Amino acid sequence: MTQGTQGNGETTPTLWDRTRQLAVQEILRTALRLFTQQGYDETTIAQIAREAGVSQRTLFRYFGTKEDLVGGSQERFVALMTEAVHKQPADASAWTVLRAAFEAVLSLHTTPEEALERFRLLHHTDSLRAAYLGKRARSQEALMPLLEARLAPVGTDRGQARAIVATAFACFDAATVTWLEGNGQGTILALYDQGLSGVRS
């Protein structure tokens, strides 16, 4: 089935695209519900697939690993961040482009309630926390060449660029934990801005 074209030149999703999106949303809703109710480690892929009304093969077609049901895939995570960095003006500061990268990642969550469930699972489940830390480290390395290219003209060396990236990620983690402690009050980005301002001052 081919895609149609809207008047503004954008393509409209096909029936297959819409069906896939609905399946993905149902799998995610089911997984988050089960993880929250009975625990991440206690929930099996077979149970998620059964209650979502799909086969395990279909589930793994959309999500490469069980961890991806909570934290998203590494590839998508990095792709969103690097795309956000590329979109920033050439004269934007490193802090500005990194904030844009975090904002892009947060856009993966459809609602604040869903984000709260996901981050609770990530921070309170040892296996997920370990996977998240690994993903964060790989994301920092993926962003390094982009930041170095922006910072080189002003004389910032690799070590300084690495420190900037590490500081930004640390402030993002601190903002997330504070947001969880406040039961989702405010926004992670606002808390990130406050934390980064305190560090930089």
**How many Å apart are CA 148 and CA 142, to the nearest integer?**
11
**How many Å apart are CA 144 and CA 54, to the nearest integer?**
39
Per-residue confidence (pLDDT) for residue 22, from 0 to 100: 83
Question: What residues of the chain score a pLDDT lower than 50?
Answer: 1-5
**How many Å apart are CA 75 and CA 160, to the nearest integer?**
26
Per-residue confidence (pLDDT) for residue 71, from 0 to 100: 79
**How many Å apart are CA 38 and CA 157, to the nearest integer?**
48
Per-residue confidence (pLDDT) for residue 11, from 0 to 100: 63
Q: Would the pTM count as exceeding 0.85?
A: no
Per-residue confidence (pLDDT) for residue 9, from 0 to 100: 54
| Burial class, 31, CB count within 10 angstroms (exposed 0-12 / middle 13-18 / buried 19+) | buried
**How many Å apart are CA 73 and CA 139, to the nearest integer?**
11
State pLDDT tens for residues 14-43. Answer: 876 777 778 888 998 999 999 999 999 999
Domains by residue range for the chain, with CATH:
4-63 (1.10.10.60), 69-200 (1.10.357.10)
